């Protein structure tokens, strides 16, 4: 689920802060090295605010001027009404830097949100979150997330998470987590935690930890926590099955 843009507002001046590399409030406070508690006034040094679209529809997501402000931490010094024009201006910058709603792009660093039918390739340390029917491809040290009916393809990523009805084709990926009704095909030494009702296929020395679902195996290890069905195996003698 896309939750919008998190900002923090520091009590000096005050200053509105966000980052290309992370979004949640705690990560921003850590990134900027802020001590969040004022011992003299006994209140937070940071206001925590979030802008979010009214719906998950593409038109609403691509129009940040229509996003709604929510304040989760409001110290006495924080005046949301007075700062709203400045925060809204920062939201437009955030949206331009981090939201992709159409076309084909290659990104290298930072965290991005991909919507609509956009097709984005991540390199270097970029992290992508894909929604709607978008497609993301990654060979990155960052993380890739798939939601809705997005398609995720990876080679050598550190972390991939698939949710809703997303579909992933992953290779040489250190950690893969599959939820809801998402489906996944894991090849070449992947490690998969499968908690989805969708299909999981394992191949080439991959390891799967499964709650349920089907699995196709080829030189792979399946750890089955509930009764599952082995669909196929190129070499049955190479399988290692652990049943719990």
The mean pLDDT of 132-161, rounded to a whole number, is: 81
pLDDT for 145 equals: 83
CA 154 to chain centre: 14
Domain boundaries, the chain: 5-99, 104-243
Q: How far apart are CA 45 and CA 179, in angstroms?
A: 37
Convert the pLDDT of each residue in 9-18 to its tens digit.
998 788 999 9
The mean pLDDT of 64-82, rounded to a whole number, is: 93
pLDDT for 40 equals: 75
Contacts of 106 (CB under 8 A, 6+ apart): 120, 121, 123
Q: How far is CA 97 from CA 106, 125, 194, in A?
A: 13, 16, 33
More confident position, 169 or 194: 169
Model confidence at 241: pLDDT above 50:
no
More confident position, 13 or 240: 13
Under the banding of pLDDT at 50, 70 and 90, the label for residue 93 is: very high
Convert the pLDDT of each residue in 219-236 to its tens digit.
555 554 544 444 444 444
Q: How many CB atoms lie within 10 A of CB 205?
A: 14
Model confidence at 243: pLDDT above 50:
no
Q: Which long-range contacts (CB under 8 A, 24 or more apart) does 66-75 make?
A: 67/4, 67/5, 67/91, 71/47, 72/25, 72/48, 73/25, 73/44, 73/46, 73/47, 73/48, 74/47, 75/11, 75/43, 75/44, 75/45, 75/46, 75/47
Q: Are 205 and 190 in contact (CB under 8 A)?
A: no
Q: How far apart are CA 68 and CA 115, in angstroms?
A: 19
More confident position, 147 or 62: 62
- Closest by Cα among 94, 82, 95 to 17: 94
CA atoms within a 13 Å half-sphere pointing along the CA-CB vector of 6: 17
Which residue do the tokens 């998190």 mark? Answer: 6
Work out the mean pLDDT of the chain and round it to a whole number. 80
Under the banding of pLDDT at 50, 70 and 90, the label for residue 124 is: confident
CA 19 to chain centre: 15
In a 10 Å sphere around its CB, with 0-12 CB exposed, 13-18 middle and 19+ buried, how is residue 210 labelled?
Answer: buried
């Amino acid at each position: 689920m896309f939750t919008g843009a998190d900002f923090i507002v520091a009590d000096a001046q005050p200053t509105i802060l966000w980052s290309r590399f992370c979004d949640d409030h705690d990560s921003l406070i850590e990134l900027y090295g802020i001590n969040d508690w004022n011992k003299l006034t006994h209140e937070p040094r940071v206001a925590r605010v979030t802008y979010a679209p009214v719906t998950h529809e593409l038109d609403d997501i691509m129009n940040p001027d229509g996003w709604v402000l929510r304040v989760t931490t409001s110290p006495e010094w924080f005046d949301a009404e007075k700062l709203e024009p400045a925060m809204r201006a920062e939201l437009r910058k955030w949206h331009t830097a981090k939201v992709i709603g159409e076309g084909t792009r290659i990104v290298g660093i930072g965290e991005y949100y991909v919507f609509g039918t956009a097709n984005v390739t991540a390199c270097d340390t970029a992290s992508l979150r894909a929604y709607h029917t978008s497609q993301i491809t990654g060979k990155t040290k960052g993380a890739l997330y798939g939601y809705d009916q997005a398609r995720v393809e990876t080679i050598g990523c550190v972390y991939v998470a698939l949710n809703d009805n997303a579909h992933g084709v992953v290779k040489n990926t250190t950690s893969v987590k599959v939820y809801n009704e998402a489906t996944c095909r894991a090849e070449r030494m992947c490690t998969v935690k499968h908690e989805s009702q969708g299909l999981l296929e394992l191949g080439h020395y991959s390891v799967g930890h499964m709650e349920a679902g089907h699995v196709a195996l080829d030189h792979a290890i399946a750890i089955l926590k509930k009764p599952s069905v082995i669909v196929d195996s190129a070499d049955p003698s190479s399988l290692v099955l652990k049943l719990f």
